[in-house]
Chains A and B, each alone.
Chain A
Amino acid sequence: MADDWGMLLFRHLIDAGIEEAEAGELTDDALAEAAAAGVEPGSMYGPALTYAGALARTVRQATRHAAPPPRRRDAIVLRLRNVTKRYRRRQVLREVNLDLRAGEVAAVIGANGSGKSTLLNICAGLTRASSGTVQRTERIGYAPQHEGVAPLLTPAEHFRLFGAACRMNRKEAVSVGSQLAAQLGWRPRRNVVASHLSGGTRQKLNVVLSELNGPDLILLDEPYQGFDQDSYVDFWDQVFRWRNGGAGVLVVSHMLHDLDRVDHVLELQPVGES
């Protein structure tokens, strides 16, 4: 019984991105403590899956606390001046202004229909603004809200493809992709195509692809659909890790948590309401 629980714990730790050696150590320690107390590990720690999740998060967060570099207020990575967008007669965006520097996080919030995704598409260069100016750095990462991944490709194939677009060679791309995935608590398995991943894991792939090329500006459109609470926290940890690493991050969101840790909050109103 204890052995089964132990094996499950080990497996779940690996799945959560913990290195094999450390996962082995953590499992052995847990089993030893339970044995020393004369208690079944299941009743001492709870289900192996939840315990593995708690341990994995602790390990991940520890690397965050380890060395927070000082924030740099650097060059502007994105500048929006009086950006408006009109579709035929409907005005979607009205005079949006923003200066985002490297090492800053901006959250774009607003109710549905307030033009958040449109603004992001304008920043990414997918749509042209009707008026106003957009200036941004060249190296960007972009994670759309829907269908950002190819359902019939494996994570590794995604890494290769996106890596090739940024002149990374195959090995490098897959290795970087796997490391970034581990930071979100996910170990990509070979031969599992994206459509067979759970919604939350697919979104993690989406997020990893947006930063694969080490961009200066990362644009994310409500990327945590399907995330559980732990993943949501991990995601925001990742955002702040990007910030500490010197990138500028723009996150479109309708969730209002964590806004106090963000540098800019851009609130969009659906046009037609004042």
Chain B
Amino acid sequence: MPRNISQQWLHGFLDLCLLCLLADRRDYGRGLVERLAEVGFDEVPGGTLYPALLRLEKQGLVRTEKEVSPSGPPRKYYELTDLGRATMHERRGAWIQFRAAMSAVVEAPAARSGRE
């Protein structure tokens, strides 16, 4: 159960976040969690992250590769496919529109009430 509301929101956008992070550079599971934490999200639990990555893999948006890691057992690395890259661009466009609409509704009234 999500601890707070921003956790719930992230659930909805997790796939998009992962696609964008992977567009930047390929990574493994823990690495993605760390990068999300760096920008200010709460730590995403493994029970949420890995099914999301599996979903992307099943949809053909990422491919996986096992690689020997410098410290310890081999890790599974995720990388965007061409389809993944195309989908990411598409969804990024949709997000930008969505964000504009949200800002118009959520942020503007705050500015208005500040004026009063």
Flag if A50 contacts B47 (CB, 8 Å).
yes
Give the chain A neighbours of B76 by CB distance below 8 A: 29, 32-33
Bitwise interface map of A from 41 to 62 toward B, beta carbon under 8 Å scored 1, else 0: 0001110001100110111011
Give the chain A neighbours of B48 by CB distance below 8 A: 54
Flag if B46 contacts A55 (CB, 8 Å).
no
CB of B54 closer than 8 Å to a CB of A = yes
Tell which of B30, B55, B59 touches A37, judged by Cβ atoms closer than 8 Å: B30
Residue of A nearest to B55 (CB): A58
Give the chain A neighbours of B46 by CB distance below 8 A: 33-34, 44-46
Distance A13 CA – B46 CA, assembled complex (angstroms): 17
Tell which of A37, A38, A54 touches B51, judged by Cβ atoms closer than 8 Å: A54
Flag if A62 contacts B55 (CB, 8 Å).
yes
Query: How many residues of B are counted as interface, with CB atoms below 8 angstroms from the partner's CB atoms?
Result: 19
Chain A contact patch, size range: 20 to 34
Distance A30 CA – B47 CA, assembled complex (angstroms): 10
- CB within 8 Å of A: which of B50-87? 50-51, 54-55, 58-59, 69, 72-76
The A interface is mostly helix, strand or loop, or mixed, namely helix
Flag if B75 contacts A33 (CB, 8 Å).
yes
CB of B29 closer than 8 Å to a CB of A = yes
Flag if B45 contacts A46 (CB, 8 Å).
yes
Distance A274 CA – B100 CA, assembled complex (angstroms): 44
Distance A51 CA – B48 CA, assembled complex (angstroms): 8
Give the chain B neighbours of A30 by CB distance below 8 A: 50
Q: How far is the CB of B87 from chain A (nearest CB, A)?
A: 12
Flag if B47 contacts A46 (CB, 8 Å).
yes
Distance A36 CA – B68 CA, assembled complex (angstroms): 10
CB of A65 closer than 8 Å to a CB of B = yes
Interface of B toward A, CB cutoff 8 Å: 28-30, 45-48, 50-51, 54-55, 58-59, 69, 72-76
Additional A-B contact list (10), CB under 8 Å, known A33-B50, A50-B47, A62-B55: A32-B73, A35-B72, A45-B47, A45-B50, A46-B47, A54-B51, A55-B50, A57-B51, A58-B54, A65-B59
Task: Give 7 nearest A-B pairs by CB, closest first.
Answer: A62-B58, A44-B46, A46-B47, A54-B51, A45-B46, A45-B47, A36-B73
